[in-house]
């Protein structure tokens, strides 16, 4: 009876190791505090109606940023824990983590950073920026968009379930190589959490990608041909097309692993004729293009930023776009370089090695177009540009390391070493994460109506740069010296400890960088009068998103613009056009269907993890019911009449005018520095305590 009701679940599952208990308690406290604040401010209704059920891609974009930002801190803590263990655990000292903990932590770190930080930020950016850049009011299917987001959230919760709820996480590495991920070698629930976390968020990604493809290909403003699209939209289009080509491969492969574990099939097992190498083959068919899915939108961001801050159109738009297309096509034919050492013959290895090296060509084309754009440009070194320059340096180092690894005989030496780990961190941090930071600083005025504080932003950038070099250059060296990856203990005689200690210090400097980024946002809000952007175009931008107010109205454009050139907004600024008349606007209604489906999808996964079959059945029926109710709803849209639009626009204009009046403030002469921020925060705290202000709350 108990098994029928609860499956494998019992009291032993609850968190009982120190790091899961710590995670659990801190998370529960966070939830309680947040809930208290929301209740206190009477904001539950507002939260539900204005945000959670919203189908506005701008709001969904912001929600992606929140979740991914939170996960960045969560995954970053994992990284610090790993570095600390490595710095301590030399010779007779075993460090503070057991081997099993250590394995769970590096697996979780990898999954969180790739799926829930990088992917989340990229999707958030595309959500917010792409409709604005192509002159659309919304996405092709607002429902798919909210569904994709909430499935992503379900994945986030699932990956954290091992400490929120209980059990363990996979100790298999971020791709759960077979046959280690099979029931025989991983009997616990860790791999099951892994499967369902990736499965649910992966399906969300596929749906989201389909939606963006529909939007970009079918909803561009009149006159905007493909060859007039902004570069970020091009990068997103390439990335999303790659996502729909490879994410189904991941979904299918995960289902096969799931069948191996639950139904006893023999796809990737060692017994019964299964082929574990087939798993490696399939997972990398998805896994390699995945990094380019993250990279291409970042390339688009850099193209936009370089062009804006050099005050020049991008040099050779065509080569830039062809470079991105080239990267995405070639990325599909290089996956074997992840397993050169599996024993394939020279011909096969050579083919994939050569393909891998060829990818460097379109990538270099991109880098050269950026350099050519800067050449003779009037460059401004604002923080977005700093992130770009940092990217070029780190990406070049990582890229050269990558070309080295693409040579099979060299790979035989460096495979599975820290050199490899350093290489892909150079690409993913230097490329993707710096791209995301660059994009957030660049578009922050669009998101919030405020420019970010430049001074603290610069400190944060330098912390990241220095911290990165301190932690990953020693890692390259260690790899060359023979340190393998996923190392939780090493012999004292290797003499590696100083390098590992250096890496830990670098990691702490990066953590300070993250703290400074949070401080930067806080400081910007404190100085909001000084940093407010009322023009909608703070950087003297070139593309259409800057033609809207900051932040844009919920319908983006009052009147859909007609496009005649690339850099549409730049053109428009220099040729005053007559103001066309207002028209009716059709907007989608909010819906909670995405939330309900995601809850059920989560429960399906949860039911499978703990083998609670009735829960799975009920949840699948739930999903079908919500789909039917939503799918046969014939009125998912509403209309805003031209008169209402006019009224909304006038209200907005009055509001903008009111805040743009210069107010005399002591702090308006320059961006706040760090000490000033600390002073203000302490002053505030002192004021609260001394005057017992909490009574009033």
Partner 1 sequence: MVTNHETAHMVDHEAEANDRVMFGFWVYLMTDLLMFAVLFAVYAVLHGKTLGGESGRELFSLPLALTGTLILLTSSFTCGIGMIAARGGKKNLTLLWFGVTFILGLAFLGLELYEFTELIHEGHTLRSNAFLSSFFVLVGTHGLHITSGLLWMAITLVYVIRRGLNSHLVRKLALLSLFWHFLDIVWIFIFTIVYLKAFV
Partner 2 sequence: MSHPSRNTISKPSHEHGTMRSYVIGFVLSLVFTFIPYYLVVNRTISGNLLLATIIGIAVLQMIIQITFFLHLGRGPKPNWNLFFFIGTVGIILIVVGGSIMIINNLNYNMLPHDQTKKLTNDEGIYQIGGEKTGACQGQHDNHKVTIKNSQVSPLQTLASKCDTLTFINEDDEAREITFGTHPDHGSYAGEDELIVRKGRSKSITLSEAGSYQFHDHIKAEIAGFFTVTP
Q: Which residues contact 61 (CB under 8 A, 6 or more apart)?
A: 123, 124, 125, 126, 127, 128, 129, 447
Residue closer to partner 1 by CB (options 263, 577) is: 263
End-to-end CA distance of the chain: 49
**Binding to partner 1 by residue 329, rule CB under 8 A?**
no
Does 219 help bind partner 1 (rule: CB under 8 A)? yes
DSSP category for residue 382: -
Look at residue 211 and give the partner it binds from partner 1, partner 2, none, a contact being a CB closer than 5 to 8 Å depending on partner kind: partner 1
| One-character DSSP codes across 584-631 | -EEEEPP-SHHHHHHHHHHHHHHHHHHT-HHHHHHHHHHHHHHHHHHH
Cβ closer to partner 2: 218 or 692? 218
To the nearest 5 percent, what fractions of the chain are helix, strand and coil? 70, 0, 25
Nearer to partner 1, 272 or 498 (CB): 272
* Rounded CA separation 225/132 (Å): 15
Q: Does 247 sit near partner 1 (CB under 8 A)?
A: yes
Q: To 5 degrees, how large is the angle CA 64–CA 67–CA 72?
A: 115
b/e per residue, 277-311, with b = 16+ CB within 10 A? eebbbbbbbbbbbbbbbbbbbbbbbbbbbbbbbbe
Measuring CA to CA, which residue among 183, 206, 175, 188 is closest to residue 258?
183
Euclidean distance between CA atoms 230 and 241, whole angstroms:
17
Q: What's the closest the beta carbon of residue 281 comes to partner 2, in angstroms?
A: 5
Site stretch for partner 1 (CB under 8 A), options 241-249, 304-312, 437-445, 489-497? 241-249
Is 244 near partner 1 (CB under 8 A)? yes
What letter would DSSP give residue 639? Answer: E
> Which among partner 1, partner 2, none contacts residue 592 (Cβ within 5 to 8 A by kind)?
none
From candidates 409, 631, 679, 683, binder to partner 1 by CB under 8 A:
631
Q: Select from 53, 111, 211, 548 the one that contacts partner 1 (CB under 8 A).
A: 211
251 binds partner 1 (CB under 8 A): yes
Tokens of 277: 């190498």
Q: Report the residue number, 213 or 514, with the smaller CB distance to partner 1.
A: 213
Q: Which does 498 bind (CB under 5 to 8 A by kind): partner 1, partner 2, none?
A: none
Asked if 584 interacts with partner 1 (CB under 8 A), we say yes
Contact 146, 204 (CB under 8 A): no
Kindly write out the interface string for residues 139-158 of this chain, putting x where it contacts partner 1 by CB under 8 A and - elsewhere: -xx--x--------------
Which one of partner 1, partner 2, none is in contact with 578 (Cβ closer than 5 to 8 A by kind)?
none
- Near partner 1 by CB under 8 A: residue from 24, 104, 111, 206: 206
Helices (H) and strands (E) in the chain, counts: 24, 2
* Residues in touch with partner 2 (CB under 8 A): 217-218, 241, 245, 249, 275, 277-278, 281-282, 285, 332-333, 335-336, 342-345, 347-348
In angstroms, give the least distance from the CB of 400 to partner 1: 33
**Among partner 1, partner 2, none, residue 327 binds (CB under 5-8 Å by kind):** none
* Residue whose CB is less far from partner 1, 89 or 591: 591
The angle, 0 to 180 degrees and rounded to 10, between the axes of the packed helices 231-262 and 190-218 is 150
**What residues line the site for partner 1 (CB under 8 A)?**
140-141, 144, 206, 210-211, 213-214, 217-219, 244-245, 247-249, 251-253, 256, 259, 263-267, 272-275, 278, 282, 583-584, 586, 624, 628, 631-632, 634
């Amino acid at each position: 009876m108990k098994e029928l009701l609860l499956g494998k679940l019992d009291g032993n599952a609850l968190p009982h190791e120190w790091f899961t208990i710590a995670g659990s308690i801190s998370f529960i406290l966070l939830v309680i505090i947040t809930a208290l604040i929301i209740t206190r401010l009477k904001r539950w209704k507002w939260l539900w109606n204005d945000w959670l059920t919203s189908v506005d891609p701008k709001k969904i974009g912001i929600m992606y940023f929140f979740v991914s930002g939170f996960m960045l801190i969560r995954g970053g803590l994992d990284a610090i824990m790993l570095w600390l263990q490595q710095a301590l655990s030399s010779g007779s000292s075993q460090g503070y983590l057991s081997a099993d903990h250590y394995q769970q932590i590096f697996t979780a770190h990898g999954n969180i950073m790739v799926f829930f930080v990088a992917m989340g930020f990229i999707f958030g950016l595309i959500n917010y920026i792409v409709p604005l850049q192509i002159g659309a009011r919304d996405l092709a299917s607002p429902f798919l968009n909210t569904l994709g987001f909430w499935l992503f959230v379900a994945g986030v919760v699932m990956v954290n379930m091992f400490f929120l709820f209980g059990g363990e996480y996979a100790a298999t590495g971020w791709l759960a190589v077979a046959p280690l991920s099979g029931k025989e070698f991983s009997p616990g629930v860790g791999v099951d959490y892994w499967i369902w976390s990736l499965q649910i968020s992966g399906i969300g990604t596929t749906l989201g990608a389909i939606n963006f493809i529909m939007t970009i290909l079918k909803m561009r403003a009149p006159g905007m041909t493909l060859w007039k699209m902004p570069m970020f939209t091009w990068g997103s289009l390439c990335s999303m097309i790659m996502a729909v080509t490879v994410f189904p491969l991941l979904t299918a492969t995960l289902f096969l692993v799931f069948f191996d574990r639950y139904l006893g099939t023999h796809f990737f097992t060692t017994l019964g004729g299964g082929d574990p190498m087939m798993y490696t083959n399939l997972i990398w068919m998805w896994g390699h293009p995945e990094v380019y899915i993250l990279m291409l939108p970042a390339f688009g961001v850099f193209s936009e930023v370089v062009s804006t801050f050099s005050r020049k159109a991008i040099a050779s738009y065509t080569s830039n776009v062809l470079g991105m297309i080239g990267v995405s096509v070639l990325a599909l034919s290089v996956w074997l370089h992840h397993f050169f050492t599996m024993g394939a013959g020279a011909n096969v290895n050579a083919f994939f090695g050569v393909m891998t090296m060829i990818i460097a060509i379109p990538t270099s084309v991109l880098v050269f177009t950026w350099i050519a754009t800067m050449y003779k440009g009037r460059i401004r070194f604002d923080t977005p540009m700093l992130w770009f320059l940092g990217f070029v340096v780190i990406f070049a180092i990582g890229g050269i390391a990558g070309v080295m690894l693409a040579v099979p005989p060299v790979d035989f030496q460096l495979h599975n070493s820290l050199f490899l780990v350093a290489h892909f961190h150079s690409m993913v941090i230097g490329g993707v994460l710096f791209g995301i930071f660059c994009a957030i600083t660049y578009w922050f005025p669009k998101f919030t109506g405020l420019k970010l504080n430049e001074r603290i932003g610069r400190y944060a950038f330098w912390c990241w740069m220095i911290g990165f070099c301190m932690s990953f250059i020693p890692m390259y060296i260690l790899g060359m010296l023979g340190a393998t990856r996923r190392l939780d203990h090493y012999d004292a005689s290797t003499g590696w400890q100083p390098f590992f200690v250096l890496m830990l210090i670098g990691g702490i400097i990066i953590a300070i960088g993250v703290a400074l980024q949070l401080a930067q946002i806080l400081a910007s809000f404190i100085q909001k009068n000084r940093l407010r952007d009322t023009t909608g175009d703070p950087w003297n931008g070139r593309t259409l998103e800057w033609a809207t107010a900051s932040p844009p109205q919920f319908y983006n454009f009052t009147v859909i613009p007609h496009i005649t050139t690339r850099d549409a907004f730049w053109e428009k600024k220099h040729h005053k056009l007559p103001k066309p008349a207002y028209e009716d606007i059709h907007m989608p209604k909010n819906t909670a269907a995405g939330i309900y489906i995601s809850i059920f999808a989560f429960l399906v996964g949860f039911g499978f993890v703990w083998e609670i079959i009735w829960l799975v059945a009920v949840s699948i029926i739930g999903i079908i019911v919500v789909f039917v109710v939503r799918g046969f709803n014939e009125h998912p849209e509403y209309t805003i009449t031209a008169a209402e639009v006019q009224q909304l626009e006038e209200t907005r204009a009055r509001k903008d005018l009111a805040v743009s009046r210069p107010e005399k403030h002591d702090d308006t002469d320059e961006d706040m520095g760090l000490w000033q921020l600390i002073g203000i925060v302490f002053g505030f705290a002192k004021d609260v305590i001394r005057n017992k202000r909490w009574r009033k709350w």
